[in-house]
Amino acid sequence: MFTSASLKSGMETPFPMFRTGKNYTLHPVVRAMHGLPFLALMLIPVHYMSKFLPTGYAQDLFNIGREANLPTFFACFSWMLVSAASLVAFFADPFVKPVSKTRWLWLFIAAAFFFACIDEFVQLHEHIDDIWQSIGGVSSGSGKSIPDWNVVYTPPMLVLTAVGGGFAWLQMAPVKHARAFLASGIVFLALAIAAEYLEASPTILAAIQANAFMAKTHILWVLEETFENLGAVFIAISIARFADYAIRCAIPQNAEAVAALDKQVAYDKF
């Protein structure tokens, strides 16, 4: 049986990785995830330093603006991490009291970010023209307009932000710092989308080409990819912290333990 003393010592728990009491720490996997934003930022200097590599293949391997390379793998990994964390949150959600009646929305979030991972891996949105033609739409040579991928993707992204983001925000209320990570992730993704729209603007493109620094450094799409990666990893961290908290709620076996846990666990120290 769990007692106040045993909770404080952190010794009597069925899951040693989720210690309770004074010495409670985040799960090692969740702790490790807090280093991902720094890896996302490190891709910037690596990208520019790759210009000094001897071969074109080696340069492309680290080029943020290219596809099918290490930065793309990191982006896919980030999206998949959000999907996986959402799936864990779905199964852990019942441990939080009161139990959410809409916990299936975690599956909605998981599916949406899994699609984002696949989209990034196979470059789906970059080939919207071919896809539109294959499903009976129009092609670039038909003289008819083809919807830009931003136009196609914006409505579902708004739905995901409003429904999925709003649900996650409410669920994360008892988890310290989770909302801050979630809000940061949404802001960075919004900045990435804004940069995408700027890149598609002929006026902006002309201004970039007229500016020697921006034309040489391609700073706009470097920032866009960085914002996208930061947004994904911050959201993944926020959901992982919620899942960690939810699993921790399952550790105590009686009301006395739950009450003691609320008073004694310093969850925000890691």
Prediction pTM value = 0.80
Q: Answer whether residue 14 shows pLDDT above 80.
A: no
Q: Answer whether residue 135 shows pLDDT above 90.
A: no
pLDDT tens readout for residues 15-61? 334 444 444 568 899 999 999 999 999 999 988 988 888 877 778 88
Q: Is 77 left (phi over 0), alpha (psi -120 to 50) or beta?
A: alpha
Question: What are 93's two structure tokens?
Answer: 């959600």
Angstrom distance (rounded) from CA 110 to CA 116: 10
**Comparing 9-18, 56-65, 119-128, 162-171, which segment has the lowest mean pLDDT?**
9-18
Cβ-Cβ contacts under 8 Å for 147 (sequence gap 6 or more) = 128, 132
Alpha carbon 249 to its chain's center: 24
Q: Answer whether residue 257 shows pLDDT above 60.
A: no
Alpha carbon 8 to its chain's center: 34
pLDDT at residue 109, as a whole number: 97
pLDDT at residue 121, as a whole number: 85
pLDDT at residue 1, as a whole number: 35
pLDDT tens readout for residues 81-132? 999 999 999 999 988 877 778 999 999 999 999 999 998 888 777 666 666 6
Question: Between the ranges 64-73, 74-83, 250-259, where is the mean pLDDT highest?
Answer: 74-83
Long-range interactions of 48-53: CB distance < 8 A, separation 24+: 48/217
pLDDT at residue 39, as a whole number: 95
pLDDT at residue 264, as a whole number: 53
pLDDT at residue 43, as a whole number: 92
Q: Answer whether residue 259 shows pLDDT above 90.
A: no
